[in-house]
Amino acid sequence: MTRRPGHRLGAWSAGLLLAGVGVVAGCRAADTDGVTPVPQLLAFLPWLLVPTGVALLCALLARWWPGLVCGVAVLGLLAWYLEPYGRTAEPDGPPLATLRVLTSNVEFGHGTPALVPRIRGLRPDIVFVEECEYTCQATLETDFATAYPYRQAVRAAGSHGSLILSRHPLRPTAGVAGTMGMPGAVADVRGHAVRLQLAHPMPPLPDQVGLWRRELGRLRAFAAAGPRTPTILAGDFNATQDHAAFRRILDTGLTDAARLAGHDRAASWPARTASVIGTQIDHVLLSADFTATGARFLRVSGSDHRALVVDVTLHQRG
């Protein structure tokens, strides 16, 4: 039977859409980030349900039954991977201390004026600030000299500067090497050592996917190096749970605090469209010593990222 021109167009449209989405879904199933444009599209994996739905409609209207079956299979695969990734077991030891942790990428320091009142109002115990250049660091260190007497910074211009502020005493560490600053420290929280590490690897730009993967690998090595010490790894990871390189970090035993608080798919970037369409690339990762009782993503004017604030409890190991 000869297909009508409209049917042929519908079948071709469905085929092209399913081929593109199928490659991305296949890489997710194969536990690899692939090559450009797969890493960039993986960041928006849930939104691939839209072109898949369009492909199913085209296949149905064109009466292309093999395409319809293929579309249903791809739709099921995407729906399967919408489930959150990582552990859910909670520590069974008694609580030792509660902490409020805030992380915010202030986009070359532009969001600093809006972040200051956020810090004053929320009163977090530990603050991680990415893209905090010289002016940003001077502002925060001056305005919060008394409230946050302890800090660790990588002092640099533009997106390369970063800062950790803490109410608890800090012992500096070498941090994690990266193109952008990723300082680290060990906090003394009521006599208990807690490893702190700011995360800000390079984004997976088309010509920098290898560098992005290597810097996430260094963060994974940090996470795996201290399995017996409570750890908080927080910042702008430029990655989501749909990226294999990010899941490698979770596989060390860390858990995303937003997931524990029921916000595993809440978008943090881009801030302007996060309420409609976006992706969660800002995270607070916790070792098995912690529980999370709340998580909020907050608008910070001047930045293209939403800030993330979480309330966590440190438990004694069972």
pLDDT tens, 48-88?
999 999 999 999 998 888 899 999 999 999 999 999 998 77
Kindly report, as residue ranges, where domains of CATH 3.60.10.10 are found in the chain.
95-315
Read off the pTM: 0.95
Token couple for 243 = 């990226």
Element (H, E) at 97: strand 95-105
What CATH number was assigned to the domain covering residues 95-315?
3.60.10.10
**At 190, phi and psi to the nearest 5?**
55, 45
CA distance 142 to 124: 17
Q: Is 157 exposed, middle or buried (0-12, 13-18, 19+ CB in 10 A)?
A: exposed
Query: Which residues have a Cβ under 8 Å from the Cβ of 191 and sit 6 or more positions away?
Result: none
Q: What is the mean pLDDT of the chain?
A: 95
Per-residue pLDDT of the chain (318 residues; tens, 9 = 90+): 445 665 788 889 999 999 999 999 999 999 999 999 999 999 999 999 999 999 999 999 988 888 999 999 999 999 999 999 987 777 889 999 999 999 999 999 999 999 999 999 999 999 999 999 999 999 999 999 999 999 999 999 999 999 999 999 999 999 999 999 999 999 999 999 999 999 999 999 999 999 999 999 999 999 999 889 999 999 999 999 999 999 999 999 999 999 999 898 999 999 999 988 999 999 999 999 999 989 999 999 999 999 999 999 999 987
Query: Which residues have a Cβ under 8 Å from the Cβ of 304 and sit 6 or more positions away?
Result: 105, 107, 269, 270, 271, 272
CA angle, 249 then 238 then 106, to 5° = 125
CA distance 94 to 80: 35
